[in-house]
Amino acid sequence: MDSPGSMKRSRLLQRHLLPFLLLFLLLTLSQCRGDALPGTCAVAGECESGGDAEAAAMAGKDRVKIDEESAQDAKSRVDPYALLKDGHAKLKAKNFEEAITAYNQLDAVLSSIYGTMLHGRGVAHSMLQQHLQAAADFKQAVAKQPSKPEYWMELGQEYTILNDYENAHNAFTKAVELDPHNDKARRFRGMSAFEIEHYAAALGDLIPALTQDPSNPELLTQVAASLLRLNHYRESQPYWEEGVQAHPDDGNLWLQKGITHRILGEGQKAVDSLLMGLTVEENIEIYHNLAATRRYQGDHWGAIEWCDKGLAFRPEDSELLYVRASMHHALGDHATALAGYDHLMAMGAGRQMTFNQALAFYQREVLLYTVARLDLPFSAFQMDEDMDVDFKVAWLNRRVPPSLPKYHNLSVPDHQLEGATWQLLPQLSEGALAVIAAADEIGWRAHYETDGVMPNKQQLRMAGLAALDVMQRVRGTWEAIADEQRLPSIVDDDEDGEGRRRGREERTRATTRRGRMG
């Protein structure tokens, strides 16, 4: 006869295990009606529309199907109720180790059933676009059955839809560890690695995926962009080329191709690619890069023209407003530049200053400082002494000034802008134009192709003028040396010093010739 203590323990075990038994019965009933779930989910996935295409594909026919083994092989499984009875019997017989084994088997079976239920419910939540609930179910499912790579895949996909790329990458990594030959898991892991800026790791997964799907625009973009981020600019170009050839109607591919050419200093190729992108779709980023390309080429008016076109498309774009004002500033059109800076700074009054507004603020202060000293000699420009230390530090680090009054210490009265407005240069003489043309030619000939260096016509002209100046000075020096060699000897035996006088006159004439040549 069992002791009262053992009977009490038995009753406690039965009382606590009863909920597990009820759960098993409910799940068994639901499984009996769950044979059609995989097909139903597939149909739901195919009917899904809207939203991100990749997310829709992941949530539809491309998603991992519900574990069909639980429905198809349910009869071959161990009966949980039988395990429960067996455990009780072993316990009553005081075969405690065998009882623990039976209960562990029951726990494994119940965990499997519960994990399958969580997985199925997660898929249902995902089909209803309830991705937070879906992710919560899949997270519990992998906790119950961590050896299921498909569950980790589902969890990673939900995190991707929720833009939680760090956790998505971890989930896909676990799926790859459990199933090393799962190409889809590797592909998704590479995509999530790209999003968290692990570009080298992303390439390790994305390049093999691209060999299987060579015309996929998203893969082409991410492979090329990863190479770009790793400073492999030339290596990224073939992928952009393949992308625009396979998808000529994809404006983003043309945009990225143009950006790559610009980074490499290939100005005209950059403009051509960006213009192709503009024929596909009107994108403000294309206008940004067209203006930037013209700016880097030293074509200030060309940059202003693209800023105007972009602002017609989006009138309050801060990037284009800043570039346009800075181009007028560079041309010496101070009044127009000041108006542009003021307009940009007035946008969104009362809100935190944006980066471009901060740049406009600093440029405005420097413009006013310069205009106030236009009539002074160059030696009067002592910016290190005139500017507040805090202002210089904030300007150098491109920080948003925390308190405008503290830094706003370089203003000048508006009337001092009068007469400082840029004017067209007077008509140059033919001789001056010939010198400028020669300088341009010398500058272009001296320029050599270097990745990242875009030919800048302003800089090349200055380089050409500097070269002409050096050549004139060298020529003057050599002619002076030749004159020295041809001068008569200085004689000291003249009673009246006539020899010394002739020598001084010859030197004076030689110096005058050098001055005219220099």
pLDDT tens by residue, 158-195: 999 999 999 999 999 999 999 998 999 999 999 999 99
Q: How confident is the model at residue 431 (pLDDT cuts 50, 70, 90)?
A: confident
Q: How confident is the model at residue 334 (pLDDT cuts 50, 70, 90)?
A: confident
Closest residue by Cα to residue 123 from 147, 153, 145: 153
Q: What is the pTM of this model?
A: 0.58
For the beta carbon of residue 81, count every other beta carbon within 10 angstroms. 13
Q: Indicate the SS3 state at residue 474.
A: helix
C-beta separation of 482 from 512 below 8 A: no
Q: How confident is the model at residue 46 (pLDDT cuts 50, 70, 90)?
A: very low
Please, what is the average pLDDT of the chain? 74
pLDDT at 312 over 80: yes
pLDDT at 446 over 90: no
Q: Indicate the SS3 state at residue 78.
A: coil
Read off the pLDDT of each residue in 427-439 and give the average, rounded to a whole number.
73
C-beta separation of 158 from 126 below 8 A: yes
pLDDT at 210 over 80: yes
C-beta separation of 79 from 162 below 8 A: no
The answer to which of 281-295, 398-412, 468-482 has the lowest mean pLDDT is 398-412
pLDDT of residue 330: 87
The answer to which of 323-332, 397-406, 480-489, 506-515 has the lowest mean pLDDT is 506-515
DSSP of 314-328: STT-HHHHHHHHHHH
pLDDT at 290 over 70: yes
Closest residue by Cα to residue 483 from 508, 456, 459, 462: 508
The answer to which of 208-212, 427-431, 503-507 has the lowest mean pLDDT is 503-507
Q: Of the segments 110-114, 325-329, 386-390, 462-466, which one has the largest average pLDDT value?
A: 325-329
* Residue 306 vs residue 210, higher pLDDT: 306
Please state whether 497 falls in left (phi above 0), alpha (psi between -120 and 50) or beta: left
Identify the sign of the CA torsion 348, 351, 355, 357.
Answer: positive
Q: Indicate the SS3 state at residue 400.
A: coil
Residue for token pair 């692990």: 198
Percent of the chain scoring above 90 in pLDDT? 24
C-beta separation of 259 from 250 below 8 A: no
Half-sphere exposure of 236 (CA within 13 A, CB side): 25
Residue for token pair 């623990």: 100
pLDDT tens digits, 117-155: 778 888 888 888 899 988 998 898 888 888 889 999 999
pLDDT tens digits, 189-202: 999 999 999 999 99
CA distance 359 to 339: 14
Percent of the chain scoring above 70 in pLDDT? 65
pLDDT of residue 20: 47
CA distance 421 to 338: 10
**In the chain, what are the domain boundaries?**
1-139, 316-424, 441-517
**Cα–Cα separations (whole angstroms), residue 490 to 185, 478, 501, 502:** 94, 22, 9, 8
